[in-house]
Structure formats: C-alpha cells, structure tokens
Amino acid sequence: MKEKEAFMREAIRLSLENMRAGKGGPFGAVVVRNGEIIARGFNQVTSSNDPTAHAEVVAIREACKVLGTFQLDDCEIYTSCEPCPMCLGAIYWARPKKIYYANTKKDAADIGFDDQFIYEEIEIPLEDRKLSCEQLLPEEAIEAFREWQSKQDKIEY
C-alpha cells in the first residue's frame, strides 16, 4: 500500500506544482509499470493551447512513447482526480490494468470543472445534442472502412 500511496502522491505533487506555476489546471497523473513510474503528466490545456492536454492524456502519450506501444495493458494509471469523459475514453483505449484516483468528479465540479453535461450529451440522440452534427459524404468515407476490413497487414487495436 505504501508504494501505491507514493505513486498517488507524485500525481498530486504534479497537480500542485504545475498549477502553481501557471501551466494549467490542478491535475496530475503518472503511469506505472512493474512498480516504477514510466511517465508523468500534468494539465497543460492553457499553457499549450490544447484542450486535449489533460494530465492523463499527457501521461498516456509519454508512456506509449517510452514503451514503443499504443497499449498499456501491463500498466496502472494514478491520477489526482477521477478522469473526465475524454480521459476515461483515452484510458480505456490504452487498456491499463487499473486506475487509481484521488479527488472525485464531484470534487472537480465543485471548483468549476463540471463534465456532467458531457455525460448527459452522450446519451442524447445526435440530432438533439447542443453541438450540431451533420453527416457528409458517407458513401465516399466508407471506402476507407471497406479497405481496412480486407487489409491483410493491419495492426488490430
């Protein structure tokens, strides 16, 4: 348990250090493999002008570079806050074996980081969502999917 707490403390440290330095919101994350931190991430949304630069996504990108893979199935992610919908999706795609978190999504909502509207929007039919969605050129786009389906040398993920 002490080891897990140490990893979480590093995620929390990253959240505090980088928020205090004005690099982004109060979020930090680490990716651990075989009892060793292999990647660190902190929220860089405002400092990088990248809305996807959340701590977990940054840490996942770094871990994948370090390991030379797009899956983290033998890793764990420690994050200072319960992941938002985007990060949760990225984490599922990365396939780590476990997530540990400190603050909850309610804690985040209480300080202005409320993602509830996204969870709600996902459940609404496309035509009723706040963000307008319109399909274009499906007949042309389907060709890439057809080719992928029959591609012999594809790397499944």
Question: For residue 151, what are its two tokens?
Answer: 């591609």
Q: How confident is the model at residue 23 (pLDDT cuts 50, 70, 90)?
A: very high
Active site residues: 56
Q: Give the strand pairing for 36-42 and 28-33.
A: antiparallel
Q: In whole angstroms, what is the distance from residue 70 CA to residue 60 CA? A: 9
Over 90: is that where the pLDDT of 157 sits? no
Each residue of 44-74: pLDDT tens digit? Answer: 999 999 999 999 999 999 999 999 999 999 9
Q: What is the predicted pLDDT for the residue at 36?
A: 98
Residue 130 phi/psi, 5-degree rounding, is -65, -35
Residue 82 phi/psi, 5-degree rounding, is -50, 130
Q: Cα–Cα distances in Å, from 35 out to 21, 49, 91, 129, 151?
A: 29, 33, 19, 43, 38
Each residue of 104-139: pLDDT tens digit? Answer: 999 999 999 999 999 899 999 999 999 999 999 999
Q: How confident is the model at residue 144 (pLDDT cuts 50, 70, 90)?
A: very high
Q: In whole angstroms, what is the distance from residue 51 CA to residue 7 CA? A: 25
CB 6 within 8 A of CB 76: no
Question: Taking residues 27-32, what's their average pLDDT?
Answer: 98
Q: In whole angstroms, what is the distance from residue 138 CA to residue 112 CA? A: 38
